[in-house]
Structure 1
Amino acid sequence: MVAFIDTRLPIHIEQGSEGGAGYKTDIWVGASGKESRNIRWSRSRGTWNIAYGIHRRDDLATIKSLHHAAAGAALGFRFKDWSDYEIGAAGTPQQIATGDGATTKFQAVKIYTAGASSRARPITRLVDGTVSVFKDGVEVSSGVSVDVDTGVVTFTTAPAADVVIGLVAEFDVPVRFSDDSLPINVRTANLESIPDIELIEIKEELEDLS
């Protein structure tokens, strides 16, 4: 059985969702009130409630169909987080790596920076037709391929040392239903509702590029 369905929800359902990225941190508080904190997750994991975006009967039919096709929480699918779905911007690529003259494969990442702190988020499930690759700020039109499912950028010839590898792309988030059950509230023959439909981000295995 496939572990992933390459499909997305209707835009209006995605845009009506509530949620975002999350981390897991252990916090110990001493008798003095001083804290010690330990980061458990190096990669964030998002959660979203999509029930807020469901307003029509055919929306419920779409969710029920996807829930059955995904066998509940078993199979993943694409979800667009409309609050965060871009790497770089038109004409302004984001650096994802630096060439060393030997490496030909690079993982797409999104960099989040605040002050002196930054975190690289590995990105899979790029959106086909939105991806542009750059070397030293110049778009590359040949000698490179991109796997939109894994987010791996592959060059035919390794970029020379110190060449900046840049990327502009949109991406989806791989998610699954949080529950095998889909509790539907049937009020009348023509009126149904689902109070909460939670999606959980799947931390997909990254390709070993070493």
Structure 2
Amino acid sequence: MGFHEIRFPANLSFGSLGGPERRTEVVTLTNGHEERNSPWAQSRRRYDAGLGLRRLDDVEALIAFFEARRGRLHGFRWKDWADYRSAPASRPVTATDQLLGMGDGVQRAFALRKGYRSGAQVEWRAITKPVADTVMVALGADLMADGKGWALDATTGVIRFDTPPGKGAEVRAGFEFDVPVRFDTDLIQVSVASFRAGDLPRVPVVEIRA
């Protein structure tokens, strides 16, 4: 399976329907109680790219992108307009948005991640496809200059420091990011007459582990 480091046209993903999916296995016991288990450590996102189409030009752009990815064969980047930043929607991205880990004087590589908090619970999501020119890094509250003392692998979401952060130093980052996805179909059916009548084609897209 290949992955193309190209983003699905953001103007077409705007308006699409989608979000996180969990898989939970539920067994109901004879006494009415339940046992619940999840084989997935993280959620998986699904989208419908067809809902972002507004013009016939958009259909042509979609078909060209689909053909270049050869259907389900190659993955690509997707901008989830509902969740693409390290900061809440109400404020700008800053270098201290997300805690990546604590320095120990030895570790140099830190993976980008985003925390989802509700009450006492925090669910961490691995960010593997950051938008390179949006990433900011801080040690504690001190912003590190772009490319000075650290480097980003934008294809994996890993930051590597030239010198290991000192023991107890908070490694933080702020960023925008894409979701690694693929088409979840090898068939796109479009009727020009139906499209003009408002009947949009369904184009499922699913997150992949990249």
Partner of 1:30: 29
Partner of 1:106: 110
Distance 2:121 2:181 in 1: 27
Gaps of 5+ in 2: 88-92
Structure 1 residues 191 and 3 mapped into 2: Cα distance closer, same or farther (>3 Å)? farther
Partner of 2:76: 77
Partner of 2:55: 56
Give yes or no for the alignment of 1:115 onto 2:119.
yes
Distance 1:187 1:32 in 2: 56
The structural deviation recorded for 1:128 is 1.8
Q: Equivalent of 2:179, from 155, 173, 180?
A: 173
Q: Equivalent of 2:162, from 156, 159, 166?
A: 156
Aligned residue pair count: 203
Partner of 1:182: 188
Q: Secondary structure at the match of 1:47?
A: strand
Structure 1 residues 91 and 99 mapped into 2: Cα distance closer, same or farther (>3 Å)? closer
Distance 2:136 2:95 in 1: 10
Q: Write the deviation string for residues 44-91 of structure 1: whole angstroms up to 9, x where unpaired.
A: 110001111101001000110011100100001111001111124236
8 Å contact from structure 2 (residues 95, 136) kept in 1 = no
The structural deviation recorded for 1:184 is 2.0
Structure 1 residues 6 and 167 mapped into 2: Cα distance closer, same or farther (>3 Å)? same
Distance 1:18 1:62 in 2: 19
- Aligned-pair RMSD on alpha carbons? 2.0
Q: Secondary structure at the match of 1:82?
A: coil
Q: Equivalent of 2:137, from 133, 138, 144?
A: 133
Distance 2:64 2:118 in 1: 41
Distance 1:191 1:62 in 2: 19
Identity of aligned residues (%): 33
Q: Which runs of 4+ in 1 moved over 3 A?
A: 190-194
The structural deviation recorded for 1:9 is 2.7
Gaps of 5+ in 1: 205-210
Q: Write the deviation string for residues 159-188 of structure 1: whole angstroms up to 9, x where unpaired.
A: 111100000000000110001111222438
Q: Which amino acid aligns with 2:188?
A: L
Distance 2:187 2:20 in 1: 23
8 Å contact from structure 1 (residues 57, 192) kept in 2 = no
Distance 1:137 1:29 in 2: 49
Deviates more, 1:100-109 or 1:82-91: 82-91
Q: Secondary structure at the match of 2:188?
A: coil
Partner of 1:97: 101
TM-score (norm 2): 0.90
The structural deviation recorded for 1:7 is 1.9
Deviates more, 1:27-36 or 1:66-75: 27-36
The structural deviation recorded for 1:22 is 1.0
Distance 1:12 1:31 in 2: 51
Deviates more, 1:5-14 or 1:162-171: 5-14
